[in-house]
Structure 1
Amino acid sequence: MTASPQSPAPLVLGHGATELEVFLEATCPHSKRAFDKLQPLLDAVGPDALTIQIRFVPQSWHLYSGVVTRAILAASATEGGGEAGLKALAGVFRNRADFEFDGHHSGPNMNRTPAEILAAIADLAGVDLAEAWTWNTVTQALKWHIKYARQNGIHVSPTFMVDRIVQPDMGSRQTIEDWRAAIGV
């Protein structure tokens, strides 16, 4: 049975009034460092105080960036929704070497196909992504993420916005307490 195309669910943590948008590239080590702090940040301030929206900013020097990002969005378009998308993203970050090139240009991933990458991310997410991968809703979501980042002047990862204002002084090497001070929660 063929599933009806669904729009990818947002990748959101918390539900508070203050909004932190975090622009990530799914194979970037700096994005991984930031991602690993998001749940502890939410735990520190409470889910009623903060909404964390994960956005994507694919970067061409991470050679499979578009393929990996599309697979994560496809995961969030399945019945698993945002939870499946978050699980796929976390899995990619835990297994970065499986999706990145040595020095951005060489290594074992030179011989991998997009289909192999999709299958690997499907295994990490625990959902079948083959059908959702083809949906126009996933294409539109991928385009939206890229356009939204560009409209906000965001070209690198991770980048942070608090209540729609870019925070150029926030970075992945800062502590959660530094982030709390910058966010004001």
Structure 2
Amino acid sequence: MNATTTLHGAPLEWGHGPRVFEVFLEPTCPFSVKAFNKLEALLDHVGEEKVTVKIRLQSQPWHLFSGVIVRYILAASTLPEGKAAAWKVMKAVGDHREEFEFTDHCRGPNMDATPHQIMQRIERYSGVNVDEPFARAELQQLIKWHCKYARQNGIHVSPTFMVNGLVQPDLGSGDDISVWAERILA
């Protein structure tokens, strides 16, 4: 990829079924991480031919490195590995979330971390380098799309779940995947 190539992010979608389960996640939120870690099992349980799982990134300002991490994930989606690279980044951040988050959202060792150091940590844990696409201004269009989509659907916090375009306020990250599956297949 070079600066003259148009930047395209792979849709963060898994499965190919007619039922759509959208999950709005903030990558360092413990509840979002809990939900993210259930998505593969959900796809196995429901079946990729019955459901399409779509991850929507919900950057939240109280997670102070949220914007940097969301940008990193979307930059990863522009690589040749596309959504697989983005998944690896989300998994790495979730598996090591304390290294990307502030104590009580306002203090702790990450007060001395720079965005560049956060990016280096993500690359070290995920093995995904996004230096080139991360620095491209047009990546903002992908970021803005996720923000606009969430706002248009009244999404303000993570995780939030939608089934076939309808917000499900009573679903949560603590639910067993069988609860999610029942709602998806209803």
Structure 2 length normalisation: TM-score?
Answer: 0.95
Which ranges in structure 2 are unaligned for 5 or more consecutive residues?
none
Deviation digits for residues 94-147 of structure 1 (CA, Å, limit 9, x no counterpart): 000110000111111101111111122223332321111022332110011011
Match of 2:33 in 1: 32
**SS of the residue 1:136 aligns to:** coil
Deviation digits for residues 60-115 of structure 1 (CA, Å, limit 9, x no counterpart): 11111111100111111112211000100010000001100001111111011111
Match of 1:174 in 2: 175
Answer whether contact 1:87 1:125 (CA < 8 A) is retained: yes
Match of 1:22 in 2: 23
1:111 to 2:112 alignment: yes
Match of 1:133 in 2: 134
Which ranges in structure 1 are unaligned for 5 or more consecutive residues?
none
CA RMSD of aligned residues (A): 1.4
1:146 to 2:144 alignment: no
Amino acid at match of 1:20: F
1:80 to 2:81 alignment: yes
- Shift in Å, 1:24: 0.1
Answer whether contact 2:89 2:128 (CA < 8 A) is retained: no
Answer whether contact 1:75 1:84 (CA < 8 A) is retained: yes
1:47 to 2:51 alignment: no
Answer whether contact 1:15 1:50 (CA < 8 A) is retained: yes
User: Which aligned segments of 4 or more residues in structure 1 are displaced greater than 3 angstroms?
Assistant: none
**SS of the residue 1:106 aligns to:** coil
**SS of the residue 2:40 aligns to:** helix
Answer whether contact 1:119 1:129 (CA < 8 A) is retained: no
Q: Please give the alpha-carbon distance, in whole angstroms, between the structure 2 residues aligned to 1:81 and 1:117.
A: 21
Answer whether contact 2:13 2:83 (CA < 8 A) is retained: yes
Deviation digits for residues 19-77 of structure 1 (CA, Å, limit 9, x no counterpart): 11100000000001101111101101111010000001111111111111001111111
Q: Please give the alpha-carbon distance, in whole angstroms, between the structure 2 residues aligned to 1:77 and 1:87.
A: 13
Higher deviation after alignment, 22-31 or 174-183: 174-183
Q: Please give the alpha-carbon distance, in whole angstroms, between the structure 1 residues aligned to 2:167 and 2:139.
A: 26
- Shift in Å, 1:11: 1.4
